[in-house]
Amino acid sequence: MRRSISFLALCCFSALASANQATTPIAIVIHGGAGTINKSQMTEAQEQAYHATLKHAVETGYAVLEKGGSSVDAVTAAVLIMEDSPLFNAGKGAVYTYDEGHELDASIMRGDNLMAGAVSGVTVVKNPVLLARSVMEKSEHVMLSGAGAEQFAKEQGLELVENSYFDTEFRYDALKKAKQSMQKVPHQAQNYRLKAPWLPEWNMGTVGAVAMDRSGLLTAATSTGGMTAKRYGRIGDAPIIGAGNFADNGSCAVSATGHGEFFIRYRVASDICARVKYQGISADKAADQVIQQELAKVGGTGGVILIDHKGKVGWSFNTEGMYRAKKTEGEATISEIFKESSAK
């Protein structure tokens, strides 16, 4: 009798577990940076190139989820494609520092056990997201920087490149323009104040991805070259857990892009998830509160992509545009650039 009761309990449990499994949606959202993205300043060919790369990245990540892969693998796959594309300010195509080099930041976080990995100021690691992931999975630390991070990359067998690998003409022109503007406001250049003349378009192109897999695991990843003309080892929000990146299965996963100093001070990613967790509001609403109200009123420009613990995806930005794409179950891929929805 006791045996048949426990057998019954086991059956109920597995039925519940598989029902739960069957209803867990899979989804992925990516971004390729927020800023002043003006349709009139873009050629049709440029627009198409962004849409094509965004779609390729989001669909590659989705394919991982569809095959039963983890959201950690899905966001890594999506971010890798954008890091390897010169269109974005991450990996190849990263912005220039004041000294005409590149210093890259990246992070990744999983929402089940809140494990995270981040790297900052790396100069020779081809794909910083892979290094951030190695920090999360193969080290006992959360954040490594500069030469030490590169030593770890070498030990992990990650691909290293010359710093000039990240060069692009477009980003070099942006550096020249930034320096000219700095000269026009000498006291700001001297004191290195991060007010105007820093324009959102000078750092535009950070990349990120958030996803939920069949097991309900949320993961977020962010990667960037930071801000054009940055100096003195400046680190942005992208590698700071809770600022530019956050994932918690109990609330949501967020990847951010924008003026990093604001995103650090307003701990944007974790604030959004905290609102979901403690106020019980939707992730969309929480993101709008933080991006459209808190940040907008102090001049913090940028945006976020997100996915909540039920697999609902969203985004919010207070700039003219944000490169973004999403793929959810049963829906076609959507990629957008400008504020008004011009889905492709």
Residues binding ligand ASP (CB under 6 A): 33, 203-204, 206, 224, 226-227, 236-238, 244, 257-258, 260, 263
Smallest distance from ligand ASP to CB 226, Å:
4
Q: Taking a C-beta distance cutoff of 8 angstroms, is the pair 182, 188 a contact?
A: yes
**Cα gap 334→136, rounded to integer Å:** 31
Q: Which is nearer to ligand ASP, 61 or 205 (CB)?
A: 205
Q: Which is nearer to ligand ASP, 123 or 203 (CB)?
A: 203
Q: Which is nearer to ligand ASP, 34 or 65 (CB)?
A: 34
Q: Taking a C-beta distance cutoff of 8 angstroms, is the pair 254, 246 a contact?
A: yes
Smallest distance from ligand ASP to CB 237, Å:
5
Q: Largest Cα–Cα distance of the chain, in whole Å?
A: 87
The identity of residue 272, as a single letter, is I
Q: Using alpha carbons, list the distances in angstroms from residue 300 to 12, 209, 261, 319, 322.
A: 51, 21, 8, 10, 15
Q: Taking a C-beta distance cutoff of 8 angstroms, is the pair 284, 305 a contact?
A: no
Smallest distance from ligand ASP to CB 260, Å:
2
**Cα gap 131→118, rounded to integer Å:** 8
Q: Using alpha carbons only, what angle is made at residue 205 by residues 200 and 210, rounded to the nearest 5 degrees?
A: 115
Half-sphere exposure of 128 (CA within 13 A, CB side): 39
Smallest distance from ligand ASP to CB 114, Å:
22
Q: Taking a C-beta distance cutoff of 8 angstroms, is the pair 203, 35 a contact?
A: yes
Q: What residues act catalytically?
A: 206
Q: Which is nearer to ligand ASP, 36 or 156 (CB)?
A: 36
Smallest distance from ligand ASP to CB 315, Å:
14
Q: Which is nearer to ligand ASP, 26 or 207 (CB)?
A: 207
